[in-house]
Amino acid sequence: MQLENLIKKCINNDRKAQSALFERYKDTLYFLALKYSRNKAEAEDTLHDAFLVIFQKIGTYKNTGSFEGWMKRITIFKAIDKYKSKQPIAMELNDDLMEDTSLEYELADYPLENLMQCIQALPDRYRLVFNLYQLDEYSHKEIAAMLGISEGTSKSNYHRAKQLLKKKIMETQNQTNLKMNPYGI
């Protein structure tokens, strides 16, 4: 079914069309929700919440820009809302956190699944900023506005997230090397 026709039917609350739309985009939006969640169950909750909003607000989509992009924004904002409802984001800007912690070398041969696990293990405030900045390419100014924090705090949280990821990746790689060569030979 053509996307335009599918959207029109969803606007009219056609359950089959809603099911078809869900099937078409569930994997893409689930992976997006997973980036912002601590675990699979939380990502599933975010996906569910996002689709509720998508179906409620689908009539407001104005055919300007990508429909998938519109749904992705809703999914990201549902993940942020879930986090905001849990606790306020607070961290002071700390100059020693601003040092360069380039991850390029460590990530060269690092499996994507392991990287996602490391990102999911980050504290919420770091994970959100890291994903918004690095993976979804929002500016620190935009992130600050979305999360209700200062631009400096966004930058600080991003750099701290990179430091923690680098440490976790190095630990994981060291454990892997030790398993492969337990005698250090």
Q: Which of 55, 95, 101, 98 is nearest to 78 (CA)?
A: 55
Instruction: Answer yes or no: do 42 and 7 share one domain.
Output: yes
Tokens encoding 179? 């398993």
Does residue 91 contact residue 156 with C-beta atoms inside 8 Å? yes
Instruction: Answer yes or no: do 7 and 78 share one domain.
Output: yes
Q: Is the pTM of this model over 0.75?
A: no
Residues 6+ apart with CB under 8 A from 158: 126, 129, 130, 133, 134, 140
Q: What is the pLDDT along the chain (185 residues), one digit of tens a residue?
A: 799 999 999 999 999 999 999 999 999 999 999 988 888 999 999 999 999 999 999 999 988 889 999 999 999 999 888 877 665 434 333 333 334 445 554 555 667 778 888 888 899 889 999 999 988 889 999 999 988 899 999 999 999 999 998 888 888 777 665 555 555 55
Does residue 22 contact residue 51 with C-beta atoms inside 8 Å? yes
In a domain, 185, yes or no: no
Instruction: Answer yes or no: do 80 and 104 share one domain.
Output: no
Residues 6+ apart with CB under 8 A from 151: 140, 141, 144
Instruction: Answer yes or no: do 42 and 79 share one domain.
Output: yes
In a domain, 75, yes or no: yes
Indicate which CATH number applies to the domain containing 130: 1.10.10.10
